[in-house]
Structure formats: C-alpha cells, structure tokens
Homo-oligomer: A and B are copies of this chain.
Amino acid sequence: MKRDSNLKNDLIIKTLLGEATERTPVWMMRQAGRYLPEYIKLREKYSFFERCQNPELACEITLQPIEIIGVDAAILFSDILVVPQAMGMEVQLVEKFGPLLPQPIKTQMDIQRIRVPDVNDALHYVFDAIRLIKQELNGRVPLIGFAGAPWTLLCYMVQGKGSKTFDEAKAFCYQQPELAHQLLQMITDTSIAYLKGQVAAGADLVQIFDSWGGLLGKKDFEEFSLQYIRQIVAALKKGIPTIIFAKGAWSSLPEMAATGAHGLGIDWCIEPETARRLADSAPATEGRTVALQGNFDPAKLLSPIPVIEKEVKEMLKNFGKGAHIANLGHGILPNVPVDHAKAFVNTVKEF
C-alpha cells in the first residue's frame, strides 16, 4: 500500500485502512464547485473543459475548499465524462442543460467509433493537474482521485444526456446485453488505466462514482454495474485505498463490501445503523471493517446553522466512533451559503 509520508493530515487514509484516529475526517462531494464565489469567478472566465484541462486552473479550483472550508481531503477538480471523451465521444457541457453527447451509442457500429485510449496521451492533462496539486498541497491533506463507474458512464454514452430514469440506457442493456457488456468492458479497461495513472501521478486514494447505480434492481446492478466496479477495485485495492459510492444501491452494500473496497459511500435515505449492518454482513477483508462515508442530506445545508449543527451531531452519533468519513449523501447544492458548508465541516471537526 502506497502511503505519502509527507501527509500532515492523514485522517481519511487511516480511517480507510481501519486505523484509529483522534476524530472523524470530513470532506464534501462537489466541494470544489458552484457554491463558492471564488469558483464562480473562474467559471465566468473559462469554459468547463478549459477549467478541467488547464492544470493551473484545475489546481486552483481543487485547492479552494481546502483553504476556504478546511476539509480533510482535496478532490481533483474534473468530471466523470472526461473518460467517454477520451474514448472518442464528443461531450458538451451545456449551461443549464447539463451534459450532451450528440452522437450517443445505440449499435455495434457506434461502438466501433470509440476505443480504449492510451490514457497517458488522452488524459495526460489530468495527471499533470494531479502532480501540480500534490506539489501545491505540500502534504496538507490527501488528494482524492476519481472516475465514474462503468454503468454510470454507459448511461450518458447511450442516453446522450441526463435523465431521471435513463430508460434508453436501460433498454439498451436489456435489449442488447452483449453489446452493453462489450461497451462496459471497454469503459472498465479505460477506467483502470486512468485510475492507475492518477495514482502514479500522486492521488492518495480514489473514489468510484456510480451516480446511477440506484436505477437498477439488485440483480441488474450485479450484472451491469458491480461486476465492473469489482474489476476496478481489484486492480487498485492493493496499491491504494478505494471508495465505492453507488448512490441508492443500498441493497448491494454487502456485495460492495465484499469487493474489498476500503470505503462505501451511502446517501441520507439509509440509516447509518442499517448500512453498517448490511456492510458488515459481508466477510471482512483482511480483518478490516469497511469505512462508511456520508450521509448528510445536501438540502439540509439550506437549514439555519443551529439546525445544521444539531443534525450533524445526530448523524455522527448514529454512525458511532470510527470507520466513518463524514460527507454529504450527494454533491453540495449550488445555492448553499458558504458559512453553512463551514458549519457542517466545523461541527464534525469539533465533535
């Protein structure tokens, strides 16, 4: 297991490796994002892909919440859709609409248009950003690398845009399962190389985001999502702590724990106690208790600060001591006041 000896704050690493810590670590999904006025300023000047692809900009944005909010980890500023882009698909991020992939995948012919790329070529800008961020962080906190889960990337690559139900993506899997598996394997191979590249460049841990895992029933989640996540975790877990966040896929927590991942993200719709019981029903990996990450309702950060403080304390009590990384149950909302985000983080730190 790689471990950066220069880290001054390694709470999250220790928690993921099952070691005792003086307190619960805390970070927030989308912590480098639209609720920060400093981010909005850069957003007005540069397009999304400029911000991703320019290592200096990506570094500046990644560091903002460390300096402004005081979280215990940095997460690389990027997007899960850089992988479909690197595989040869056109990806647009349209203001107020979200992602748009104008030529979605529907047939075998469409799959022939894409490829498993050389990540050192297609995604070198991410690795450059990571090297710069690690240098600028100078050991203050660990850096989280990440990738989308293959299923979630398939959702966008087939549906071509965001959706509540991703029924075109699901229909693709149900109607043409062989094609779906061919595509999922290509995404998996790319993601493994991509995450290994992130680790080589300096990422201290990685998280796999399966934002749409909760759209699948348990059997389909195994077939179209988890078997590929398992490959990714297997390729990485000996070298680096790994976290799986499959939003809404609570019923597969035992199977996710059994992958040997070090942490599992959960949302606010599952009680910490229930999540712990489900995760612990899998055989422990190397005698280690899997850490749980979450699960504050992002909309609750819109409550008055005293309510936030009360509810955060209650959440911490419900998780109990150890094996917990405090986080939201999904990304922070753009309309959250900065001092509310700080109240969330500080309440965890002072608990």
State the A residues within 8 Å of B (CB).
164-165, 167, 170-171, 174-175, 214-218, 220, 248-249, 251, 268-271, 274, 297-300, 302-304, 307, 333, 335
Contact = CB atoms under 8 A, between A and B. Distances in A.
How many copies of the shown chain assemble into the complex? 2
A299 B167 contact: yes
A248 B269 contact: yes
Nearest to A300: B174
A97 to B, nearest CB: 13
A271 B167 contact: no
A271 B164 CA distance: 21
B303 A333 contact: no
A323 to B, nearest CB: 20
Contacts of A299: 165, 167, 170-171, 174
A302 B269 contact: no
The CB with the most chain B CB atoms within 10 A, among A274, A299, A307, is that of A299
B175 A302 contact: yes
Contact of A170 (B170, B174, B270, B297): B297
Most buried by B among A220, A304, A307: A220
A136 B299 CA distance: 47
Contacts of A298: 165, 167
Contacts of A171: 299, 302-303
B297 A217 contact: yes
Nearest to A166: B299
A221 to B, nearest CB: 9
Given A175-B304, A215-B269, A251-B271, 4 more contacts: A214-B269, A220-B297, A248-B269, A251-B269
A268 to B, nearest CB: 4
B251 A174 contact: no
A300 B174 CA distance: 7
A302 B174 contact: yes
5 contacts: A167-B299, A170-B300, A215-B269, A217-B268, A217-B269
A214 to B, nearest CB: 6
A303 B176 CA distance: 9
Contacts of A297: 170, 216-217, 220
Given A220-B297, A268-B217, A269-B217, A167 B248 contact: no
Contacts of A333: 165, 167
Instruction: Pick from A218, A297, A303 the residue with the most CB of B within 10 Å.
Output: A297
A281 to B, nearest CB: 12
Contacts of A174: 299-300, 302-303, 307
Q: Which 9 A-B pairs have the closest CB atoms?
A: A170-B299, A171-B302, A174-B303, A217-B268, A167-B299, A167-B333, A217-B297, A218-B271, A174-B300
Contacts of A271: 218, 251
A165 B30 CA distance: 16
